[in-house]
Amino acid sequence: MGKRIFDDETDEISVVSIGDDAPGPAEAPERRSGAATLLNKAAHFLGAIFLLILSIELMKRGAQSIAPRLQGTFPVDNMVSTLGLGWLGAYFVLSGSPIAISALALFGAGATTQAQTFTMIAGSRLGASFIVLLVGFLYAMRSRNRERRRESIGMGVLALGMTAVVYVPGMFLGYGILKSGMLSGVNWAASQDVNGAIDLIWGPLTRIATDLLPGPLLFPLGLAIILLAFKALDVVLPSLDGEKHADGKGHWLTKPWPMFALGALAALLTLSVSVALTILVPLASKGYIHRKEAIPYIAGANITTLADTMVAGMLTGNPIAVQIVLAQVIAVSIITLVILAVAYRPLQRLIMALDEWIVATTPRLVFFVSALFVMPIGLMFSGRLI
């Protein structure tokens, strides 16, 4: 079967053979492009997993070296100082997950106690939303519209405030669950076969690094590699386009439970509450969503963000590490679901009133940002005073 095509430039007629299964002129390049994209994502995914496991192994070795010197000293004097350490550490890496995984590595080496590890992970969650405020400031600087600037910065304030509303009481409830022994029967850990495979594949690199570098340097090296792993995952994970997700706002974007589910899914897919919450800034800046509508989304993201930390706990080979993370997940889930079920509207009014009060004037905003640094620093140095 053929088709006659007239070329305007050459004034010639050519016959092109076509069939039901024959690809069009653009179809073959598109297929090649699709295959190349798939291979690229697969390579980045495998590379990210490789780097993630390598970083955990290096941090475990490094933690073993620094544990004798670190135990009971600054900045892990007590469970209050580790809360500040996790909180402030998340600011500097602009993510909570690397700090939470670092806490598990320190625990595995005996540098921190169960309680200290628990509060360090909680602190990492409190600091993880700082990047939302940072992005909010950047968006505000680009906009000449006063209301849009308020929405952008206010979304960052809201993310930090909502995280505190859930995680502060969650710390007390979670610690109670942990100390009660309710989770003592949970023995989730990587199997001997998995551990054997890890030693076979990553063992040689770990041993080379151990031979070349002083033991204490392995910990920061592992932390740097884990940041590269999350960077590689950014290429693989689905792009969360704020404007696309804003389509059909009138249908469901204003409803609490769908927004809660979307936030939980976003943090689970991206393995980062920072990434999942940051997309709220352009949504608010462009007027697709109001801050008060984002509260359930933030609540959902704050639960599933601990998924990668749970996996890291299993890889440590210590069941107690998993119990520490699981206690936090259960506590935060309970508090979040209770709030959304019975106290959502009162909380929405209260937290929005506080948010509006903070962003109303520059001095209040400066005071708020200053407090964000003073509080974790004060907590971290509390061990020097207590």
- State the average pLDDT over residues 151-155: 88
Best CA proximity match to 123, nearest among 108, 139, 106: 106
What are the pLDDT digits (tens) for 94-133? 888 889 999 999 998 888 999 999 999 999 999 988 888 8
pLDDT of 10 higher than 50:
no
pLDDT recorded at residue 346 = 94
Residue 26: the pLDDT is: 52
Which structure tokens are listed for 61?
């070795």
Mean pLDDT of 238-257: 55
In the predicted model, what is the mean pLDDT of residues 28-48?
75
Judged by phi (left if over 0) then psi (alpha if -120 to 50, else beta), residue 190 lies in beta
Q: Is the pLDDT of residue 56 over 80?
A: yes
9 pLDDT more than 80: no
Considering 35-49, 141-155, 191-205, 370-384, the range whose residues carry the highest mean pLDDT is 370-384
Instruction: Flag whether pLDDT at 351 surpasses 70.
Output: yes
Is residue 247 predicted with pLDDT exceeding 60?
Answer: no
Query: Where residue 55 falls among pLDDT bands split at 50, 70, 90?
Result: confident
Which residues on neighbouring strands pair with residue 6, listed in sequence order?
Answer: 13
209 and 58 Cβ atoms separated by less than 8 Å: yes
Lowest mean pLDDT among 24-33, 185-194, 301-310: 24-33
pLDDT higher for 252 or 37?
A: 37
For 102, how many CA atoms within 13 A lie in the half-sphere containing its CB?
28
Average pLDDT for 283-295: 80
| pLDDT of amino acid 252 | 55
pLDDT above 80 for 195: no
pLDDT, position 48 = 82
